[in-house]
């Protein structure tokens, strides 16, 4: 019986060590993916995400924080690889310029949450198969009170990320 317990303890220790190697940081790393022309919308979302970040519930990496990096593309790719979650801010601009990054993230097996900023036809993308925010499936632009939409997003992210 003690041999069996010892074997189970070793298995649990190996699992814990493997998980710590795979995910050395304690809070989920969230990658914000969006088109640069939508930076004002992202700034508003970041204001609402601020408390989650300040309370160390998440760590945010902004894809355009590397705008002046020497190897911006490599930096973005590295950050996607490091991310636990990818938040895609869905606008027409995003589909036109950033969708390929979302495909790369999907192909890497990243957990992706589409955040519908504007009403955009997504039929020819992989996004309709995913759970999107805001929770009522209405784009932020369709809400009469945008602050309520952002609050809804943060409330549901808090639940999803736990």
Residues 48-61 have pLDDT tens digits of 999 888 888 899 99
Supply the pTM of this predicted model. 0.80
Nearest one of 33, 107, 105, 101 to 63, comparing CA atoms? 33
Order the strands of the 111-116 sheet from edge to edge.
59-62, 29-33, 85-90, 111-116
CA angle 8, 14, 16 (to 5 degrees): 100
- The C-alpha R_g of the chain, in whole angstroms, comes to 18
114-140 pLDDT tens trace = 999 999 999 899 999 999 999 988 999
- Cα–Cα dist 17/137, whole Å: 39
């Amino acid at each position: 019986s003690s041999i069996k317990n010892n074997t189970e303890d070793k298995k649990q220790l190996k699992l814990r060590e493997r998980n710590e190697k795979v995910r050395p940081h304690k809070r989920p790393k969230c990658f914000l993916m969006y088109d640069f022309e939508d930076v004002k919308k992202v700034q508003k979302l970041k204001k609402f995400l601020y408390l989650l970040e300040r309370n160390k519930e998440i760590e945010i990496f902004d894809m355009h924080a590397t705008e002046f990096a020497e190897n911006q593309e490599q930096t973005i790719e590295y950050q996607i690889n490091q991310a636990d979650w990818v938040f895609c801010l869905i606008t027409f601009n995003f589909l036109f310029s950033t969708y390929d990054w979302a495909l790369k993230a999907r192909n890497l097996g990243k957990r992706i949450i589409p955040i519908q900023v504007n009403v955009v036809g997504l039929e020819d993308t992989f996004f309709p198969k995913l759970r999107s925010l805001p929770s009522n499936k209405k784009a932020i632009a369709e809400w009469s009170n945008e602050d309520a939409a952002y609050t809804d997003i943060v409330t549901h992210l808090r639940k999803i990320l736990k």
